[in-house]
């Protein structure tokens, strides 16, 4: 089970405005063309690979094109981005120098130059590359913070603090407070660090990085009870976090754990990781990937950065690339088995579920108390429609946790699905209700229970209210909107059903059940030709055998009484 906590809260709400300026920071390539036939072929192949998120392949093609047309700015810019996105930061830095010569305001290239110089402790070069960076754009602000970290590393902490304090862009306040706290900690200003850590923690008390850094600071100063209180405030929510759990053990033993970031290079890497995470949630995928790749270059030993990079690749559906990262995690790492679990989940996405189940069973055999592995095993078994075995896995986890944690709502929810698919409705209904008791108004559970009641003709008015609440929480979720339309249908409100199911169909146009429901609604309002079209469309979407049989009957005879 993957648990993701919100990070930095509202402190980065302005990132959308900053990322909107990224396009304006690109070099002006108008007028530059790829003119040689062989170069054009490599360019087009590279562009296609990049759009398909195969950055390493794209970089190879663009580099091939550059070999015969090195001065072409278009090729330089494309190769630079592809190299950066694929993690080849040193190669990207070589091209960045040429880009900055042609386009001095190309800020992401300047940022890379400064980051590489900081990694190599060439502090004067960092100052040369990054001084004068914008205080109003994403890459400009990031460059200024990297410059500040360079001052910290070069023994000029006061200059570093002032550099960050000069950034006043709305939305970055809390994020930069945390960066300043890390800088003061590394720079040896304990009084300033304490004040800033307290501010960051008060603003975001459940962000892992803030909690870890603040707890470490307290324990390093001998304040073990206060440190443990900060850690346990998070862990008491039922959160699983290996770093915090290990940190808690050290603190209980009255051991000073050391700082989260020990030097300027690690601090700058944490900056880039945090910004990448925030940008990813804002939907800015390209800047997010480039920043996390630079972070990994600056601190290659950071497992957190490795996981962040793999997580990005997973969301881009590049599961094999993500697994390459997981396979690089050493056995000595605390995260080794977590990496195995994540790689198994990716195998499932790659339709290699049998291999995933075998891998997860091996992990559980070695670590019988590994809640994450057992839950992932249950999920994979459920994905493969092995519902009875999935139910057993979820029950095992609930027996281990006691089933009273806030996050246990999800275990009751997925076990409820496993029960429902086995036609054990009483147990399923009890689990869905238990999930809602732990997490009232959880939209997935409201939708599943409400839809199940509707589909069985039970508790229709109550079910309608639950689904309406779910839709208000997830208005763009086609499956939940479909449930509302189907509730209207079951209540005989066919015009409302048509309107709502049409919206569900627009939101999720490739789901056979939604098309089937829309066809039924069309039939009831007399739009029989459109009904037939939707049923035929649903049949082409690889429905399961039960739905396929219903569709064949409807296409042959129309909608008979009680059909659907």
% of the chain exceeding 70 in pLDDT:
92
pLDDT at 209: 92
pLDDT at 34: 44
pLDDT at 409: 94
pLDDT at 164: 95
Question: Which residue reads 């195995």 in tokens?
Answer: 340
**Whether pLDDT at 45 is above 90:** no
pLDDT at 513: 95
DSSP 329-359: S-TTSTTHHHHHHHHHHHHHHTT-HHHHHHH
pLDDT at 5: 28
pLDDT at 32: 43
Q: Which two tokens stand for residue 153?
A: 């590393």
pLDDT at 334: 80
- The mean-pLDDT minimum among 204-218, 356-370, 374-388, 549-563 falls in 549-563
Q: Which range, 112-121, 132-141, 358-367, 404-413, is most confident?
A: 112-121
**Whether pLDDT at 429 is above 70:** yes
Question: Contact at 8 Å (CB) between 372 and 338?
Answer: yes
Of the pLDDT bands very low, low, confident and very high (cuts 50, 70, 90), residue 29 is very low
Of the pLDDT bands very low, low, confident and very high (cuts 50, 70, 90), residue 27 is low
pLDDT at 83: 92
Identify the CA nearest to 556 among candidates 539, 375, 331: 539
Residues 6+ apart with CB under 8 A from 426: none
92-145 pLDDT, tens digit per residue, is 999 999 999 988 889 999 999 999 999 999 999 999 999 999 998 989 999 999
Averaged pLDDT for residues 31-46 = 64
Phi/psi class of residue 457: alpha, beta or left (left: φ > 0; alpha: ψ in -120 to 50)?
Answer: left
Question: Contact at 8 Å (CB) between 175 and 15?
Answer: no
pLDDT at 282: 65
pLDDT at 38: 65
151-206 pLDDT, tens digit per residue, is 999 999 999 999 999 998 877 888 899 999 999 999 999 999 999 999 999 998 98
pLDDT at 15: 38
pLDDT at 265: 97
pLDDT at 236: 81
CA of 491: how far to CAs of 20, 191, 472, 496, in Å? 46, 65, 20, 10
CA distance 506 to 543: 19
Arithmetic mean of pLDDT over the chain: 88
> 398 or 339, which is more confident?
398
> 348 or 495, which is more confident?
495
Question: Contact at 8 Å (CB) between 216 and 259?
Answer: yes
C-alpha torsion 449→454→457→458, nearest 10: 40
**Whether pLDDT at 521 is above 50:** yes
Of the pLDDT bands very low, low, confident and very high (cuts 50, 70, 90), residue 428 is very high
**Whether pLDDT at 417 is above 90:** yes
pLDDT at 17: 40
Of the pLDDT bands very low, low, confident and very high (cuts 50, 70, 90), residue 427 is very high
Burial class (CB in 10 A: 0-12, 13-18, 19+), 345: buried
447-502 pLDDT, tens digit per residue, is 999 999 988 989 988 999 999 999 999 999 999 999 999 999 999 999 999 999 99
**Whether pLDDT at 222 is above 90:** yes
% of the chain exceeding 90 in pLDDT:
64
pLDDT at 277: 85
Q: How many CA atoms lie within 13 A of 98 on its CB side?
A: 16
pLDDT at 299: 94
> 34 or 472, which is more confident?
472
**Whether pLDDT at 317 is above 90:** no
**Whether pLDDT at 23 is above 60:** no
CA distance 405 to 375: 15
pLDDT at 561: 55
Averaged pLDDT for residues 277-305 = 85
The residue length of the chain stands at 564
pLDDT at 455: 87
Question: Which residue reads 């763009």 in tokens?
Answer: 476
**Whether pLDDT at 239 is above 50:** yes
Averaged pLDDT for residues 422-443 = 95
pLDDT at 482: 95
pLDDT at 116: 96
Q: How many CA atoms lie within 13 A of 341 on its CB side?
A: 23
Collapsed DSSP state (helix, strand, coil) of residue 284: coil
């Amino acid at each position: 089970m993957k648990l993701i906590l919100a990070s930095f809260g509202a402190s980065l709400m302005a990132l959308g405005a900053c990322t909107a300026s990224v396009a304006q920071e690109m070099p002006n390539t108008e007028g530059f063309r790829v003119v040689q036939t062989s170069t054009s072929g490599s360019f087009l192949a590279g562009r296609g690979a990049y759009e398909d998120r195969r950055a390493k392949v794209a970089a190879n093609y663009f580099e091939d094109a550059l070999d015969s047309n090195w001065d072409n700015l278009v090729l330089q810019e494309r190769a630079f981005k592809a190299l950066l996105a694929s993690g080849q930061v040193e190669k990207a830095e070589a091209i960045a120098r040429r880009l900055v010569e042609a386009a001095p305001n190309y800020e992401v290239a300047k940022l890379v130059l400064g980051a590489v110089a900081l990694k190599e402790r060439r502090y004067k070069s960092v100052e040369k590359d990054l001084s004068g960076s914008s205080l109003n754009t994403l890459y400009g602000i990031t460059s200024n913070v990297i410059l500040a970290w360079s001052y910290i590393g070069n023994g000029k902490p006061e200059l570093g603090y002032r550099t960050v304090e000069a950034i006043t862009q709305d939305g970055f306040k809390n994020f930069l407070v945390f960066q300043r706290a890390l800088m003061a900690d590394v720079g040896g200003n304990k009084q300033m660090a304490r004040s800033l850590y307290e501010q960051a923690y008060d603003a975001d008390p459940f962000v892992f990085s803030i909690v870890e850094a603040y707890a470490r600071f307290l324990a390093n100063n001998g304040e073990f009870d206060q440190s443990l209180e900060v850690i346990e405030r998070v862990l008491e929510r039922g959160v699983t976090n290996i770093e915090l759990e290990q940190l808690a053990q050290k603190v209980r033993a009255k051991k000073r754990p050391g700082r989260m970031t020990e030097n300027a290079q690690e601090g700058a890497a944490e900056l880039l990781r945090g910004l990448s995470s925030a940008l990813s949630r804002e939907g800015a995928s390209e800047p997010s990937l480039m920043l996390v790749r630079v972070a990994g270059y600056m601190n290659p030993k950071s497992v957190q950065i490795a996981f962040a990079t793999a997580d990005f690749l997973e969301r881009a559906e590049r599961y094999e690339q993500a697994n390459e990262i997981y396979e690089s995690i050493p056995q000595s790492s605390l995260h080794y088995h977590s990496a195995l679990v994540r790689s198994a989940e990716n195998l499932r996405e790659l339709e290699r579920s049998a291999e995933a189940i075998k891998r997860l069973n091996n992990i559980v055999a070695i670590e019988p108390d590994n809640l994450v592995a057992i839950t992932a095993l249950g999920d994979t078994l459920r994905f493969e429609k092995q519902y009875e075995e999935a139910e057993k896995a979820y029950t095992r986890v609930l027996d281990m946790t006691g089933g009273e944690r806030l996050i246990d709502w999800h275990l009751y929810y997925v076990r409820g699905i496993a029960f429902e698919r086995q036609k054990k409705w009483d147990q399923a209904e009890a689990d869905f209700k238990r999930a809602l008791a732990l997490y009232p108004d959880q939209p997935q559970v409201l939708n599943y229970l409400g839809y199940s009641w509707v589909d069985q003709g039970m508790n229709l008015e109550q079910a309608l209210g639950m689904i309406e609440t779910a839709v208000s929480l997830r208005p763009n979720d086609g499956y939940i909107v479909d449930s509302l339309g189907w509730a209207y249908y079951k209540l005989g409100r066919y015009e409302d059903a048509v309107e709502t199911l049409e919206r569900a169909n627009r939101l999720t146009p490739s789901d056979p059940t939604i098309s089937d429901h829309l066809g039924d609604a069309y039939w009831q309002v007399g739009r029989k030709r459109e009904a037939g079209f939707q049923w035929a469309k649903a049949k082409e979407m690889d429905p399961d055998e039960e739905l396929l049989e219903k569709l064949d009957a409807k296409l042959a005879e129309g909608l008979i009484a009680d059909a659907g």
